[in-house]
Each structure stands twice: as structure tokens, then as C-alpha cells.
Structure 1
Amino acid sequence: MTSRRSRSMADETCQPTLLRAAVWDLPPSYFAMVMATGIISMAAHMLGLTLVARLLFYLNGVAYVLLWLLHGLRLYWFPQRLVADMLDHARGPGYFTWVASSAVLGSQFVVLAHAYTAALALWILTSVLWVGLTYTFFTVFAVKKHKPPLQEGINGAWLLTVVATQAVAVLSAHIAADWPQPYRLELNFLALSMWLWGGMLYIWMIALIFYRYYFFPFSPSDLTPPFWISMGAMAISTLAGSLLIANSPDAPYLESLLPFLKGFTVFYWATGTWWVPMLLLLGIWRYVIKRFPLEYDPSYWGAVFPLGMYAAATEQMTRAMEFGFLGIIPKIFLYVSLLVWAITFVGLLRSMVRRARPYLSRIF
């Protein structure tokens, strides 16, 4: 009886400690796991893997709710820590995964479940988050007194601002396809505006990233997985453009812009495609030549997402523009992204077990 009571007391004291330890250093970019899982689910649905798509959809809903709960606890327990991350040049852009993940999950509700009420709720949340984070982020970082040098402050995670913007365009275009007029016109116009702004933002960001690549020293530790978002940002821009092309019969202004929409959609796809072998070569340099250790890190979800997005975007572009000769590419990238997702997910589980082991050993 005594041992049982002491075990219960130990359990009560250790559980909060374990939870606090997990929440203390929770990266704001962890919502990239929802982004990656969601877009791979949608790509699987588009390519006929219905069961896989459904399972990932359900898992994604659970992950999304859990991450909001964890970040809520972080705000309650460690508000200064959360604010410090938001003001940090390296970690601050990770908050844009909150926007993109909400939009991706909303798109899942449209594509897989035809649940437009849930999608609309997520669209409202996505829009509020986008406005709040965008103007807070760019204003604060502009007037910030102490700023790091470019080679320390810029990384691929900054392109999450582009991904978040294009994610709003994608979700708006998905919802617009089912809405009655005149709301369909308005949502398509919003999607078009966000698509154009995301493209402009990418030009600004990638210029700085290119400058950092080629005019400053570059070590293996600098090549973090979020650099894959250089490709992912172009892939989601391709997806948004392809949806606008598909929606053009419902909006006369889109129909009048069709040559422009098609040209820039192919432009985005070609740019994203150029990045694929480049990033693979840099990955070989990092892990094979320089022997950088390959260990699980939450930032690896930022590399999984672009692979799934490239598969979904290429498939959507193939349908919208009747590029049947590209049909093999989405299938290849879907299976690659599923494999990389599975490896990363196993790494997440092992990391959780490893972090929990010292606390569990006190109980058992």
C-alpha cells in the first residue's frame, strides 16, 4: 500500500516536470509536421492512395490539436520564452508554420472530407494568424535595435513567410470552388492577390538567401533542412496557380489572365524543379563528404513538406494544364515523400522515448 502511494506521488511530481521540459524548448516551427503530413495526405488522395490519405488526415488532426495545446502551455508557463523566440531572427520565422499548417489542414477538410464548415473556420483562423504574424514580424524586425549579420540572420526558414502567404491562396481557392456567387468572385480575387504577393515576397527573400550562399562562408551546420523550403515555396506557388487556373471559369478576371496565370505557374514549377538536384547535391556534400551527423531534429519536417508539396503541385498542374507527359513525376515524389515522412516520424518517436526515459526511470 505504501509503495503504491509513493509511486503515485512520484508520478504526480514527475509528469509535470516531463511536460514542462518538453514545452520549454518547443520550436515554434513544429507545426511543419502538420504541413508535411497534410500535403502528403492530399497528394496521396490525388494519386489514388485513399486509405493512406485518410490515415494521414486523422493523424494530422490529432497532431494539430496537440501542438496547439503544447504551445498554449508554453504561453502560460513560459511567455517570455515564446516572445523571445518570436523576436529571434533564426526561430521567429517558424511561427509562420502556424499559418501554413492551419491552411493545409483546412484544404484537407475540403479535398478529403468536403467539410466546408470546418474549412471555413480554419480559413478564418489562418487569415487572422497571417495578418497578425506578417505585420508583427516585418515591423518588429525592421525597427529592432540589435540585428545579427546577414550570414547569421537569414536562412531557408524565412521562406516560410512565402509558404504561409501561398497557403492562404490555396485554401481560399479550394473554398471558392464550392461557394455561391458573389463570394466565389471575392475569394478567388483574394487567392489571386495572395498568389501574386507570395511570388513578389519570394523574389525578395531568395535574393538574400542566394547572396548568403555564395558570398559568405558556408559550413555543413549552416545547411539546415529548412533550406529545402527554397523549393517548397515554389511548389506551393505552383499549386496555388494551378487552382486559380482551374477556378478561372467562375471568375471572368481569372479567365482574362489565363496566359499570365499559366506562364507564371510553369515559371514557379520550373524554378522549384531547378532546386531539387541542387539541394540533393548540397545534401550529399553535408552528410557524405563532410559527414555531418544525421540525427532527428524537428527542423527536418521542413524538408519533408517540400517533397510532398512538389508531388501535389505537379499533379495539380498536370491536371489544370493537361501536361500528361509529367504524370510520372508526382508518383515518384509521392513515394519518396512517404518514405522520408516515415523515417522522420520514427525519429520523432525515438526522440520522445529518449527524452522521457530519465523521467520514467524515476517512477519505475
Structure 2
Amino acid sequence: MRPDVFAAVMATGIVSIAAAEHGYTLVSTVLAVLAVTALPVLAAAGVATWRRAPLDLTDPDVTLRLFTFVAACAVLDARLAEIPGALWTLAVLAVVVWMTLVVLTRRALAARCWPELQARARGAWELPSVGTSGLAIVLTELSQFTGWRPLLGVAAVVWGLAIAAYCVMTSLILRRAFLARLDPNGFEPDAWILMGGLAIATLAGDRIHRLSDGWLAEVTRSGAAATWVVATLWLPPLLYFAVRHLGRPRVLRFAGVWWSMVFPLGMYSMASYVVVVETGWAALTTVSLVFCWIAMLSWLLVAAGGLARSAAYLAGRRTAQPGNRVSPRR
């Protein structure tokens, strides 16, 4: 199991939220049930697998991808915020795992030189920013639920850290991209997190803005608008390289990394939706709805690919069992 296996929960959860906002109640409920079921199942499977073959927690590529667990908890927390037990359980999990991963990631990054980090940077390296913005959303939900205002200030600080982390990781990724002359053969679906990291920052900033006042409300409002604009500017280059990437052999073969593309699509739908609510730009309602449809279709395609691959894997294992092998003819 890959350390970013929880991207499937992230994707399912955010598509559920986007579907709910656009009135697709049944779709939203089904996806929410799937996401809630998948999180503990994947966590248990991950623990069992990683106990037999421990993850290398000194490798930044491992610790960075584990932030998908924090983001998955945050997305589900936002979806289930009306259920106090779920709100607190997911919030505690997100905070504890985030703090642990921050320490491990800092240690792993500090042990490597800057050129090595540039050479290895990928879109998935934006996941700490995604997870940190998710944590800001969790703290905002807790502040609203408990009425404890200091939590809102903490959420704003965490949101600022998420944007700072995004800037650092983006500088690494873009440096590598320019050195590679933007080779389309190096494009991977997780590059869409470059857009998704800003989309979730937009959502976090908007939620803090709605509950705050004074200078904090103005700062978070402006910040949310800026992150949405930059996220939108990412769409043309990402679409360009995605189309060129389709020419590669076996490019449509299923891989878990495809979930990292579904999540940003659903998150951009939600980011556009909150901008509509804030600005009243009616045209963005259509943009949000279209991206919601794209995200739902992408979810179906990736889920079908995952089920097909799992079925083929299980069939292969049954065939490989000694009792099922066909005896050679004499």
C-alpha cells in the first residue's frame, strides 16, 4: 500500500460535499458512506501492511504523502460537522497525525540538500499544504461548534502556514519542471494538486472569513480570493500537459495516483462555489456545477479502474495458488 492511499478518501469526501452543495443529495450520501467506510478500512489495512514492511519515515516522499490521512480526516470532518462525535474524533486524529508528520517531515527534509529536494519534488509534495489547509478548516469547525473564539485565530495561523508551505513546495516543483524543460513525459496526475492546494486554501480562508471580523476578516477574504485566482490560472497549463500526456503508452492504466487528480477537481468546484456566495458572480455557479460533474465522472472512472484492477489481482492470486495450477501434460 502506498503512503498516499488515503487520497481515495479525500477525493470521495470532497466530491460528496460538492454534490451536496449542488443538490445531488443521493449521490452525496452514497459517497459520504463510502468515504466514512473507506477511512478506517484503509487505515487498518495500512497498519497491517506497514507492520510487515515498515515505511521509511526518513524519506520525505513517504512522510509528505502520508498527509493524505490528515486531509482525508479534514474533508470528512467538514462533511460530518453536524455530528459531534464524528467532528471531535476526526479533529483529534487530524491534529495528532498532523503534528507527528510535521516533525517527521522536517527531519526528513533537513537531512537532504536543496538540489536533491528539487530533483525529487513532485505534485504530491503539495500534500502538506493540502493537509494543513484541511486542519485550518477543522479548527474553524471546532470554533463554530464550541463558540471558543481563540480557535479561530489558531485556524488563521494554520491557514497562513498552509500557504507558506505551498509556496516553498511550488518553488521546488517549478524549478525541477524548468530544468526538465517541461517535458510532458514527466507529467503525472498528482500535478493537479498544484491547483488543488490553492483550491482548499480558498475554502479554508472563506470559512475563517465568515466567522471573523475586523482586519482578520479582510485578510482572509482577500487571501481566499487570491488563492482562487491563482488556482484558476493553473488550469490551462495542467490541461495542456494532461492532453499531451494522453499520448503516452498505457497512460490510462489504473494507478492509485489518479485519485490525486479527482480531489483537486472536486475541490475547485467547491472553491468556485464559495466565491459565488461571496461575490455574487452568477457565471461562477455554472463553473462550479461543471467541475462538480467532471469530478463525479472522474470519480466513477477511477473507481471503476480500481475495481477492475483489484478483480484482476484477486483472479491472478487464485490462479497462482498451488491447488489451482494445471498439471503439465506428460
Classify the TM-score, shorter chain: over 0.9
C-alpha RMSD of the superposition: 1.8
User: Of 196, 199, 206, which residue of structure 1 is paired with 2:170?
Assistant: 206
Match of 2:159, as an amino acid? W
Question: How far has the Cα of 1:271 moved from its partner?
Answer: 0.4
User: Of 86, 101, 105, which residue of structure 2 is paired with 1:133?
Assistant: 101
User: Of 337, 346, 349, which residue of structure 1 is paired with 2:304?
Assistant: 346
1:109 and 2:80 equivalent?
yes
Alpha-carbon distance in 2 for matches of 1:53, 1:28: 26
**Map of 1:70 onto structure 2:** 45
Question: How far has the Cα of 1:298 moved from its partner?
Answer: 0.4
Q: Secondary structure at 1:27's aligned position in 2?
A: coil
User: Of 142, 148, 153, which residue of structure 2 is paired with 1:189?
Assistant: 153
Q: Is the 8 A contact 2:177 2:183 kept in 1?
A: no
Q: Is the 8 A contact 2:259 2:302 kept in 1?
A: yes
**Which aligned pairs between 1:288-327 and structure 2 lie closer than 5 A?**
288=247, 290-291=248-249, 293-327=251-285
Question: How far has the Cα of 1:140 moved from its partner?
Answer: 2.5
**Map of 1:237 onto structure 2:** 201
**Greater relative contact order, per chain length (Cα 8 Å cut-off, separation 6+):** 1
Alpha-carbon distance in 1 for matches of 2:117, 2:145: 44
**Map of 2:245 onto structure 1:** 286
Which protein has the larger Cα radius of gyration, Structure 1 or Structure 2? 1
Q: Is the 8 A contact 1:286 1:292 kept in 2?
A: no
Note the alpha carbon deviations across 1:306-350, whole angstroms, 9 max, x for none: 000001121122223433332111100000000001000001001
**For structure 1, which runs of at least 5 residues remain unmatched after alignment?**
1-25, 249-253
Deviates more, 1:91-100 or 1:320-329: 320-329
Question: How far has the Cα of 1:189 moved from its partner?
Answer: 1.2
Question: How far has the Cα of 1:291 moved from its partner?
Answer: 4.9
Question: How far has the Cα of 1:150 moved from its partner?
Answer: 4.3
Alpha-carbon distance in 1 for matches of 2:194, 2:217: 26
- How many residue pairs get aligned? The number is 322
Alpha-carbon distance in 1 for matches of 2:208, 2:281: 16
Match of 1:323, as an amino acid? W
Alpha-carbon distance in 2 for matches of 1:296, 1:88: 25
Note the alpha carbon deviations across 1:67-112, whole angstroms, 9 max, x for none: 0111110232222xx1x2x3334343211101111111111111xx
Q: Is the 8 A contact 2:209 2:218 kept in 1?
A: no
Cα distance change on mapping 1:324 and 1:244 into 2, 3 Å: farther
Match of 1:133, as an amino acid? L
**Which aligned pairs between 1:1-364 and structure 2 lie closer than 5 A?**
26-79=1-54, 82=55, 84=56, 86-110=57-81, 114-144=82-112, 149-150=116-117, 152-180=119-147, 183=148, 185-248=149-212, 254-288=213-247, 290-291=248-249, 293-361=251-319, 362=321
Question: How far has the Cα of 1:225 moved from its partner?
Answer: 1.1
Q: Is the 8 A contact 1:220 1:292 kept in 2?
A: no
**Map of 2:327 onto structure 1:** none
Q: Is the 8 A contact 2:124 2:190 kept in 1?
A: yes
Question: How far has the Cα of 1:66 moved from its partner?
Answer: 0.9
Question: How far has the Cα of 1:258 moved from its partner?
Answer: 2.6
Alpha-carbon distance in 2 for matches of 1:308, 1:148: 33
Deviates more, 1:119-128 or 1:256-265: 256-265
Cα distance change on mapping 1:261 and 1:148 into 2, 3 Å: closer
